[in-house]
Chain A
Amino acid sequence: MRRYLSTTVNAGEVSKFTRAAKDWWKPQSNTGVGLLHQLNPIRVRYIREQVIQNFHLPIESDSAWPLKGKQVLDVGCGGGILSESLARLGATMTSVDPGAANIEAAKQHALTDDETAEINYLCATAEDLCKQEKTFDIVCALEVVEHVDDVPKFIHQLTQLVKPNGLLFMSTINRSALAYLTTIVAVEQILQLVPNGTHDWNKYIQPQELTGMLTQ
């Protein structure tokens, strides 16, 4: 039995790490993680349909790897529940979360399956990526907005991360399927606070004023 010996790690950190790791991928646990696992299929299905439709992909609705060739960013990825699903649909995933423990847990779990082992997990924020001027075909910030202090600023950062004619998906926390539908409406209302004016919540076409710096 191999042992990883490290003198810089202390028991407290490790147990936090293991507790977080155990929780994210135990859908049976009662710490709210279970809810995210249950939500996931609906979210993934929606993203899948919208991607095929909006990118006018010349494929059947149930083809394998519909996200193949797409650069996808998952902001606030947590333990990687959404990231792994999108990776399995063929996406080239970059996933960021400010929580180091989350990223560690996500990395460990992703390595257990070939299809998810290539996910690029970074302990970072949307702001960090903006500074690096990275852009993506699809950006997802699901169940994140309610944790953010400055919502308009955050959304502005997200829009900067999306390539022209790309897609931005957002959602907020919910307690039931019905609430989920109503919160999409609520999020839309919040988005109307953003000065560049957005129409539907899952599709941001970058206004010309903001895209000056972007190459595409």
Chain B
Amino acid sequence: MKGFSFLSKYSNTIHNWRLNYSTASRSSHYDIIISGGGMVGFAMACRLGRSDCLANKRILLLESSNKKQLKLDSYNLRVSALNPGSKSLLESLGAWQHIEKTRFGSVKKMQVWDACSDAAVTFGKADLSEDIAWIVENDLVQDSLMKELDKIEQVEVQYKTKVTNYRLPKNADELVQVTLEDGSCLTTDLIIGADGFNSGLRQTIKTQYISYDYNQMAVVATLRISEGDENVTAWQRFLPTGPIALLPLNNEFSSLVWSTDKITAKSLLDLPPDVFTDRINQALWNNDDRNPMVQNVSERIFQMLKVCRVNSLEGSASDIRQLPPSVVEIKGRQAAFPLGLGHAVDYISNKAVLIGDAAHRVHPLAGQGVNLGFGDVIALNDAICEAVNNGADHGSSLYLKQYQSNRQMRNLPVMASVHGLHLLYGTTWTPLVMLRSIGLNVFDSLSSVKSFFTQRASV
């Protein structure tokens, strides 16, 4: 009897795979399915589609909304600051050329300062000879990737397709089952979740999710700025309520990202254009939050550092402290989106993996969000390619684990730092203001340390 039960267990396994393979007809089984068609989802599809070793794999991308038509009559409100690593990725995918031909803002200098003390740090070269970041509208990034994806035959995109359920395998012999809104069922050897911070796949994986609601929103708008020199500087001022940033789009316009508490954000949304513009200028120029004692001390230290010229390289941008532009008017309406911190303890499960905001969500104050997502894309593609080149299944856990360790080692310090900065700059408590102001001034004067951090944030 024992023998028969063993046999039947095996026959069950055979029955199951046959069930998987026969009911999963050719047309509903894909080697890899990507759930979610944002910038990160599309980049993932392109990257996989362009990998030689995956040339014989059928890949599907599922996007719940309609295919977007890019509108260029005015600037789209959601923009991202792309670092050199992200730009390289887009170049390698052939998408950057579309962005270049259309429009983008160059950041050659960044100035970040504290409303409570005027301590500041600047990044970039004084002669503005090098690009440190690029400001691109999210819709344009997505559209450029979509154009390139259209050229890749083995990758299929299904728009207006919503996933209602994921069923992950219990062992390596089974497939992932993806149920769609219309009731149909797809199967795959690997499901990639690029479905944003409310990820359905992450909820299926049931991983522990560390989240923190900042109770803040980011107010965004397109602003016409006062004429002056070339608009190639990104400005960010830390107010006690949150940072206000101006990101250059071109010489006439900048994009506003003003993170503040929900109540202030909602009131800003209701303001008429001229009042809103005044409020922005006040936030950039007003000195009401200055702490006189801190100001005094930090000013002395600043002078001292200038004299000592600690580790200062020639032509560093911190030699010149510039003043931000003033805002002339807002173009169009302002909008807002909620902010939060999120991190999945597990990025992976059986034949399932999370990338982008589905795995990690950060405050926009350091412009890291999509850059971390693009980093995930590169790392996951590398892991999958290694699996395939080593003759393993492309959904093999061994390689997914490698992706997870690589990315967590990279993402966690960044997220901790960003969150730390948010906490540090969210207070007006004098000792902390003193600490951060002096710290910032010292940091600003140490060019070699600054370049180290710039390098780390660039890839």
Contacts and interface: CB of A to CB of B under 8 A. Distances in A.
B393 A88 contact: yes
Interface of A: 1-6, 9-11, 14-15, 18, 21, 25, 27, 40-41, 44-45, 48, 60, 62-65, 84-89, 108, 111-115
B187 to A, nearest CB: 12
Contacts of A25: 172
Counting chain B residues whose Cβ lies within 8 A of the other chain, the interface size class is 20 to 34
Interface in B132-152: none
A113 B51 CA distance: 22
A44 B391 contact: yes
Given A40-B390, A45-B389, A62-B52, A14 B7 contact: yes
B15 A2 contact: yes
B54 interface: yes
Contacts of A9: 3, 7
Given A64-B55, A114-B21, A1 B8 contact: yes
Contact of B391 (A1, A5, A85): A85
Nearest to A9: B3
Given A6-B7, A63-B53, A85-B390, 15 more contacts: A1-B8, A2-B11, A3-B4, A4-B7, A4-B11, A14-B7, A15-B3, A40-B392, A41-B390, A62-B52, A64-B55, A64-B388, A85-B392, A111-B14, A113-B393
B453 interface: no
8 contacts: A6-B7, A10-B3, A27-B398, A62-B53, A88-B391, A88-B392, A108-B10, A112-B13
A34 to B, nearest CB: 11
A184 B7 CA distance: 41
B115 interface: no
A9 B67 CA distance: 59
B2 interface: yes
Contacts of B3: 9-11, 14-15
Nearest to A15: B6
B278 interface: no
Contacts of B52: 60, 62-64
A48 B179 CA distance: 38
Interface of B: 2-4, 6-15, 17, 21, 51-57, 172-173, 385-386, 388-393, 398
Contacts of A86: 391
Nearest to A11: B3
B236 to A, nearest CB: 41
Given A41-B390, A45-B389, A114-B21, A5 B54 contact: no
Nearest to B391: A85
B295 to A, nearest CB: 58
Among the interface residues A86, A89, A112, which one has the most CB atoms of the partner chain B within 10 A?
A: A112
A62 B385 contact: yes
Nearest to B54: A64
B189 to A, nearest CB: 8
A194 B206 CA distance: 59
Among B7, B9, B55, the most chain A Cβ lie within 10 Å of the Cβ of B7
Contacts of B9: 18
Contacts of A60: 52
B10 A62 contact: no
B8 A45 contact: no
Contacts of A27: 398
A184 to B, nearest CB: 19
A2 B12 contact: yes
A112 B173 contact: yes
B390 A44 contact: yes
Given A3-B7, A63-B55, A15 B2 contact: yes
A14 B8 contact: no
B2 A11 contact: yes
A86 B21 CA distance: 22
B26 to A, nearest CB: 10
Contact of B6 (A1, A2, A14, A87): A14
Contacts of A48: 389, 391
Contacts of B390: 40-41, 44-45, 85
B392 to A, nearest CB: 6
